[in-house]
């Protein structure tokens, strides 16, 4: 990039904020991408729907934020919530209302893009979700610039792979693969996005299948976990089982709480610390109360990302029980911190966690067997200090040898941006 120039990048996504759980907390890949573009000398514009949330983020330094309203958006969502409860009418929710919202969303997004493009045209346009691929493609053609589609895992991927007939009901995901883009970036989060890309015949030259970065040195910095335990009022002798995620249904933290009674009966002074917040928090608290284990479970609420490594260092083991895949940012961070991992064998989780080598891998199956297997694995490593240390050391070694740092990961993306711009110029 020549000195003194500032090529413009437009980024489109459907979320109200740049962080999934408020500024500085939750998923950070979106913000890291924007920050890396700014640092590289691009002028960054963010296009996002206006739902009245995250207004403080309107003033993010260096990022030009443009909001648009989706006509009838609230009405359509209300109808979806109502109709979704009535089984015979769910097909209406899946098809008619979803398509209607998608078209209105695309139209509103495009209108805003066209208005802004008349002022100064972009050099490249990014779609950060399946919602935005159509508008980004059409805008890229209008302004004759390259476009990149960036997907954070493929949540419906395993369903599409197992039952191709379901593709019609997952049409929005299918569009992300079928609508042309200069490059398609898919997060390697264990949801098998590479296999879905193969199903839709995405060329190897266009596909980039990359894992998120981690701060590999975060847990190597000088710190004293005892200070955190004292601050939280947790005795030093306590065995800490840690989870870290948004509290959503598909994260299946009910399995973790379901394992608490058995673990607590086998291990003295054990505490399950659940980092994060979300819609499921109330239900999980009720479940802990109904099982009589509320004293063995600590909900922390939202924790800033910079604080998470402190909890990792204080923990004895890290647990993840997601339905689709367990290759989450939390698991990557836990491995980087040398924690003993106990997780479920879902998606491509086994690529990172090999049973009794880099962690404990619990088989899936009937729910009762999953919970019992989870509890047995937790008890096993909590009772065996040498095994726990060995699994943690192996996890750390794997992370050091295989994980990207955030700087490396963002540089990969920036290099791809430059390559896309060069290809358009050559074309």
pLDDT of 371 over the 70 cut: yes
pTM summary value? 0.87
pLDDT value at residue 24: 55
Q: Please tell me which residue, 215 or 51, carries the higher pLDDT value.
A: 215
Lowest mean pLDDT among 44-53, 70-79, 89-98, 408-417: 89-98
Output the pLDDT for position 25: 58
In a domain, 232, yes or no: yes
**What is the pLDDT averaged over residues 154-177?**
75
> How close are the terminal C-alpha atoms of the chain, in Å?
19
**Average pLDDT value for residue range 9-18:** 79
- What was the pLDDT predicted at 26? 55
pLDDT computed for residue 188 by the predictor: 92
> Looking at residue 347, what DSSP letter applies?
T
3-state secondary structure of 365: coil
How many domains does the chain divide into?
2
369 versus 222: which is more confidently predicted? 369
Query: Is residue 4 very low, low, confident or very high in pLDDT (cuts 50, 70, 90)?
Result: very low
273-319 pLDDT, tens digit each: 999 888 899 999 999 999 999 999 999 888 777 788 888 888 999 99
Domain that holds residue 256: 218-402
Q: What is the pLDDT of residue 48?
A: 87
3-class SS of residue 274: strand
For 222-253, give the DSSP string. Answer: ---HHHHHHHHT--TT-EEEEEES---GGG-H
CA distance 183 to 148: 5
**What value does the mean pLDDT take over residues 67-85?**
78
Residue 30 lies in a domain: yes
Averaged pLDDT for residues 63-84: 80
Confidence of residue 222 (pLDDT cuts 50, 70, 90): low
The answer, yes or no, to whether residue 116 has pLDDT greater than 50, is yes
- Asked if residue 338 has pLDDT above 70, the reply is yes
The answer to the question of residue 20 being in a domain is yes
Same domain for 392 and 260 = yes
Residue 21 has pLDDT above 60, yes or no: no
Residue 33 has pLDDT above 80, yes or no: yes
410 and 388 within one domain: no
Same domain, 291 and 188: no
Question: Quick one: 146 and 24 in the same domain?
Answer: yes
Contact yes or no for 292/285 (Cβ under 8 A) = no
Q: Is residue 1 included in any domain, yes or no?
A: no
Is residue 3 included in any domain, yes or no? no
Q: For residues 400-418, give the mean pLDDT.
A: 93
d(CA 161, CA 236): 47
- 2 found inside a domain: no
- Do 195 and 235 reside in the same domain of the chain? no
Instruction: Please determine, for residue 17, whether its predicted confidence score (pLDDT) is greater than 70.
Output: no
Q: Which of 22-26, 39-43, 154-158, 361-365 has the lowest mean pLDDT?
A: 22-26
The verdict on residue 310 lying in a domain is: yes
Q: Are residues 199 and 267 in the same domain?
A: no
pLDDT exceeds 80 at position 242: yes
Cα gap 320→390, rounded to integer Å = 19
Residue 272 confidence class, pLDDT cut points 50, 70, 90: very high
Indicate the burial class of 206 (C-beta count within 10 angstroms; 0-12, 13-18, 19 or more).
Answer: middle
| Residue 303: per-residue pLDDT | 78
Whole-number Cα distances in Å, 274 to 150, 179, 253, 267, 377:
30, 39, 9, 18, 18
- Statement: residue 426 has pLDDT above 60: no
Read out DSSP for 124-163? EEEE-SGGGHHHHHHHHHHHT--EEEEES--TTHHHHHH-
Stretch 148-176: mean pLDDT, rounded? 78
Let me know whether 190 and 222 are in one domain.
no
289 and 241 in one domain?
yes
Work out the percent of the chain whose per-residue pLDDT is above 70.
84
| Arithmetic mean of pLDDT, 93-116 | 89
The sheet with strand 317-320 has its strands ordered as 297-301, 270-275, 239-244, 317-320, 340-344, 360-362
Can you read off the two tokens belonging to residue 186?
Answer: 């898919």
Count other C-beta atoms under 10 Å from residue 412's C-beta.
15
Helix, strand, coil fractions of the chain, as percent rounded to 5: 50, 15, 30
Let me know if residue 381 belongs to a domain. Answer: yes
Q: Is the pLDDT of residue 140 over 60?
A: yes
Tokens of 372: 């019992």
Residues 181 and 322 in one domain: no
Residue 337: name the closest of 313, 301, 314, 307 by CA. 313
Judged by average pLDDT, the poorest of 16-30, 119-133, 151-165, 172-186 is 16-30
Q: Whose structure tokens read 């990039």?
A: 1
Same domain for 325 and 409?
A: no
The per-residue pLDDT of the chain, averaged, comes to: 86
In this structure, what is the dihedral angle of CA atoms 217, 222, 227, 229, given to the nearest 10 degrees?
Answer: 30
Average pLDDT over residues 63-81: 82
Q: Is 92 exposed, middle or buried (0-12, 13-18, 19+ CB in 10 A)?
A: middle
Q: What is the mean pLDDT of residues 214-233?
A: 71
**Burial state string for 210-228 with b = 16 or more CB within 10 A and e = fewer than 16:** ebbbbbbebbeeeeeeeee
Same-domain status, 85 and 192: yes
Do 104 and 180 lie in a common domain? yes
CATH number, position 314: 3.40.50.2000
Q: Do 124 and 145 touch, CB atoms closer than 8 A? A: yes
Residue 298 sits at the vertex; the CA angle it makes with 297 and 304, to the nearest 5 degrees, is: 145
**Mean pLDDT on 158-163:** 68
Integer Cα distance of 184 and 177 in angstroms = 8
The CA–CA distances, whole Å, from 57 to 19, 22, 23, 50, 54 equal 10, 9, 8, 12, 6
At 2, is the pLDDT very low, low, confident or very high (cuts 50, 70, 90)? Answer: very low
- Distance from CA of residue 405 to its chain's centroid? 17
- Per-residue model confidence (pLDDT) at position 165: 66
């Amino acid at each position: 990039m020549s000195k003194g120039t500032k090529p413009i990048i437009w980024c489109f996504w459907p979320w109200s904020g740049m962080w999934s759980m408020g500024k500085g907390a939750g998923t950070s890949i979106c913000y890291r991408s924007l920050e890396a573009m700014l640092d590289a000398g691009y002028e960054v514009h963010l296009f996002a729907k206006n739902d009245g949330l995250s207004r403080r983020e309107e003033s993010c330094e260096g990022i030009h934020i443009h909001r648009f309203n989706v006509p009838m958006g609230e009405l359509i969502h209300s109808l979806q919530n109502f109709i979704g409860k009535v089984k015979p009418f769910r097909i209406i929710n899946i098809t008619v209302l979803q398509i209607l919202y998608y078209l209105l969303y695309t139209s509103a997004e495009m209108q805003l893009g066209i208005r802004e493009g008349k002022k100064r045209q972009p050099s490249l346009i990014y779609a950060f979700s399946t919602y935005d691929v159509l508008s980004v493609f059409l805008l890229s053609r209008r302004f004759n610039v390259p476009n990149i589609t960036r997907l954070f895992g493929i949540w419906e991927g395993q369903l599409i792979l197992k039952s191709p007939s379901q593709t019609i009901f997952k049409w929005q995901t299918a569009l992300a693969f079928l609508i042309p883009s200069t490059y398609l970036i898919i997060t390697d989060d264990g949801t098998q996005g590479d296999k879905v890309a193969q199903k839709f015949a995405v060329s190897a030259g266009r596909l980039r299948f990359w894992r998120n970065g981690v701060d590999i040195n975060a847990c190597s910095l000088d710190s004293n976990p005892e200070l955190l335990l004292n601050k939280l009022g947790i005795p030093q002798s306590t065995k800490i089982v840690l989870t870290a995620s948004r509290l959503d249904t598909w994260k299946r933290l009910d399995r973790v709480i379901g394992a608490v009674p058995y673990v607590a009966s086998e291990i003295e002074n054990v505490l399950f610390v659940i980092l994060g917040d979300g819609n499921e928090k109330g239900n999980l608290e009720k479940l802990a109360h109904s099982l009589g284990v509320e004293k063995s479970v600590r909900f922390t609420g939202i924790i800033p990302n910079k604080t998470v490594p402190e909890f990792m260092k204080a923990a004895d083991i890290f647990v993840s029980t997601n339905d689709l895949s367990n290759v989450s940012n939390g698991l990557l961070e836990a491995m980087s911190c040398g924690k003993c991992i106990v997780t479920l064998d879902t998606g491509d989780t086994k690529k990172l966690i090999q049973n009794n080598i880099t962690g404990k891998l619990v088989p899936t199956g009937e729910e009762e067997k999953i919970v019992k297997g989870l509890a047995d694995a937790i008890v096993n490593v909590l009772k065996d200090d040498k095994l726990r240390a060995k699994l943690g050391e192996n996890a750390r070694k794997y992370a050091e040898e295989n994980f990207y740092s955030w700087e490396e990961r963002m540089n990969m993306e920036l290099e791809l941006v430059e390559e896309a711009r060069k290809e358009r110029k050559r074309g």
